[in-house]
A and B are shown apart, each in its own frame.
Chain A
Amino acid sequence: MSQDSLRQRHLRVLRRALLATALAFGFGFALAPFYDVLCEKVFGIRPSQVADEVAACAGGVVRERELLVEFDTSIHPDLPWRLDAARKSVKVHPCEPATVVFTATNDGRIALTGRAIFTVAPSEAAIHLSKTECFCFTEQRLAAGESREMPVRFVIDDQLPADVSRLTFRYVFNPVDTPVDDAGGTTTTHS
């Protein structure tokens, strides 16, 4: 075959390959919006959850749904404290504010500072839980023998997945040697 037609065939391959390259480069960027759509519509994950929170609880308390919230506490071995919830569990409706009183007691002989770490199970519930008051927001200093009642106020919104009917709040008191900045909350709460 003639040299010209070979050149044309090379150019055809080159053109198509460059077009494919440009498309693949564009595809990389197209993945950005596609990713959000795929997460939300196909897998039900909402990366932009914050926007939905505003709409949550717009319909008021959901009487027909009841949630069981259980409380679990523990204390670091280095801290001679006790932490008790007034009730082991409480039944609440979505969007209904609830208050539970916790009592911390320092059985030791010196004043100590502790900080509670909060976790909620199942973890999917974390973003649907709002706390307006909690002893875990700040460090607690208890004199020797002192006992303190500390209310926890929370509300669980109506966007909580339907298969979740039981939640566990867990508080772990850890000793604080040097007081830290109170502004930064603990990492696991969505208050």
Chain B
Amino acid sequence: MAHDASAHRDEHGHDHKPHGFVNRWLYATNHKDIGTMYLVMALVMFFVGGLMAMVIRGELMYPGLQLVEPEFFNQMTTMHALVMIFGAVMPAFVGLANWMVPMMIGAPDMALPRMNNWSFWIMPFAFTVLLLPLALKVFFGIGAGGPAGGWTLYPPLSLQGGDSVAFTIFAVHMMGISSIMGAINIIATILNMRAPGMDLLKMPVFVWAWLITAFLLIAVMPVLAGAVTMLLTDKFFGTTFFSASGGGDPVMFQHIFWFFGHPEVYIMILPAFGVVSEIIPTFARKPLFGYKAMVYAIASIAFLSFIVWAHHMFTVGIPLGGELFFMYATMLIAVPTGIKVFNWVFTMWRGSMTFETPMLFALGFVIMFTIGGFSGLMLAIVPADFQYHDTYFVVAHFHYVLVTGAVFSIMAATYYWLPKWSGRMYNETLGKWHFWLSTVFVNLLFFPQHFLGLAGMPRRIPDYNVAFADWNLVSSIGGFGFGLSQLIFAYIVWDCVRNQSLAKAADRVWEGARGLEWTLPSPAPYHSFATPPVIEDRMLAHADVAH
């Protein structure tokens, strides 16, 4: 333990942690406690959504209907998406931001701690509301179950659902409020609370990625709130925003939804870019290549995300000029994304690399996210998209970017910072097992879905032509294997937090780690950087800092 850090702790004698469960967690204002709660909730929701995925893969294992009714299958696909997007991936990144952003910029806490408490504690209620109709049906046989019209909530189908429509819409409102407050907090923290010397263009890339993500959240979550509000009034109050009988247009919903939806996919991947940009320099023992290019690339991707939404709806009947515009704009995103991938590769070039678990997940991210990026480029081609649209090719594409992209980066981040959070090294052997099993099974799960999609298997169906049977069986085996492998992850985290006999982690946990968070003791004290640290450029993880 660093001398000055332990001295700092002795000064206080103790950590000033509030006593009792209610005081510590329900009234939590400490960024580390709130970050922990976000991460734990995300892990729980990851398993809830994962269980739904197992039902989906179980039903799709063989052609024909074996396991569940088609109506329930549709509820599973809808809820799996809503739970994974809003319950697992987004809260996990907010949790990482809560834990790491103040520690990375030398701030004592988040800017608005009470609002931070509120943003978190809305979430359990939002998910209770979201899951209630499904839980009532499954456990007590009450009602018709959850929403079944797909997570995109396209009218008129979504409006034909029962009472669950209202539950889903209010849950989306609450999740939106939570995300917006979280985003405001992150922006205020980053803009106002950086330690002296932490210029904007010296911030770690993770902090940059989150600053830009927070702007995206504020710009698009309210648009989603507006879209679902229109759905609500269409269903219950007789408006006709999306009903042709009253002069509305269901296609307009798709435009509004995807105006939110496309930036949303970058909300889920930009923080992942940030995480990987922290991890690769550490284990390549080289500063990040092209720091400024990385920052500008993230900003360009964020800008482009606003002008590509109609590529989700090429087949609804868009004028030719519109299709061409959205096709070229979408392909343009490959440029900044390519810059990022090449910069990660150049960071590793001639580095003295080691392959601890966080690095393995980061490398898996770079390779498999790029596969998802390439299939995205294929989908961007209008004439080809008419064939791919609504097939399993799309399912394969977005699971490559979201599972081997976003989820792998969250796992990489967890392994990378877990010793800093808990003060102990996790079980590295099990971590490597977790990575290799996950990687093998996730490819077994999603790669064959490319073939199924190209052969014409549609999305969102519980039964299929026997011609698709073989690859579906392979995909299901991969799915069960991937699902079970995640139990190892849960065990490793639990073990690292609870097992007193594990080796103590050093302050600078990883040999090549740079950044302010590593100047703190492990585990990170309850209150850190009460006085702003003095920052020297050599502490930072990127090369371009000496202007």
Interfacial residues, chain A to chain B (CB-CB below 8 A) = 6, 9-10, 13-14, 17-18, 20-22, 24-29, 31-32, 35, 43-45, 47-48
Contact = CB atoms under 8 A, between A and B. Distances in A.
A27 B255 CA distance: 13
A100 B23 CA distance: 85
Interface residues of B, number: 32
Interface in B241-267: 241, 247-249, 252, 255-256, 259
Interface string B505-540: 000000000000000000000000000000000000
B225 interface: yes
A36 B263 CA distance: 23
Interface in B185-199: 187-188, 191-193
A22 B219 CA distance: 10
Contact of A29 (B112, B187, B218, B230): B230
B101 interface: no
Contacts of B226: 25-29
Nearest to A17: B184
B183 interface: yes
Q: Is the interface of B mostly helix, strand, loop or mixed?
A: helix
A24 B252 contact: no
Given A21-B218, A25-B223, A28-B256, 14 more contacts: A13-B111, A13-B184, A13-B188, A13-B192, A17-B183, A24-B219, A25-B226, A28-B230, A28-B259, A31-B256, A32-B230, A43-B321, A43-B322, A45-B319
A24 B218 CA distance: 8
B222 interface: yes
Contacts of B112: 10, 14
Nearest to B321: A43
Interface string B90-128: 000000000000000000000110000000000000000
22 contacts: A6-B192, A9-B188, A10-B188, A13-B111, A13-B188, A13-B191, A14-B184, A17-B183, A17-B218, A21-B218, A24-B223, A27-B226, A28-B226, A28-B227, A28-B256, A29-B226, A29-B230, A31-B256, A32-B230, A32-B252, A47-B247, A47-B249
Contacts of A27: 222-223, 226
B220 interface: yes
B308 interface: no
Interface of B: 111-112, 180, 183-184, 187-188, 191-193, 218-227, 230, 241, 247-249, 252, 255-256, 259, 319, 321-322
B222 A22 contact: yes
A76 B299 CA distance: 58
B111 to A, nearest CB: 5
Contact of B225 (A14, A20, A28, A43): A28
A13 B319 contact: no
Contacts of B191: 9, 13
Contacts of B321: 43
A20 B183 CA distance: 12
Nearest to B225: A25
B188 A31 contact: no
Contacts of A22: 222
Contacts of B256: 28, 31-32
Contacts of B193: 6
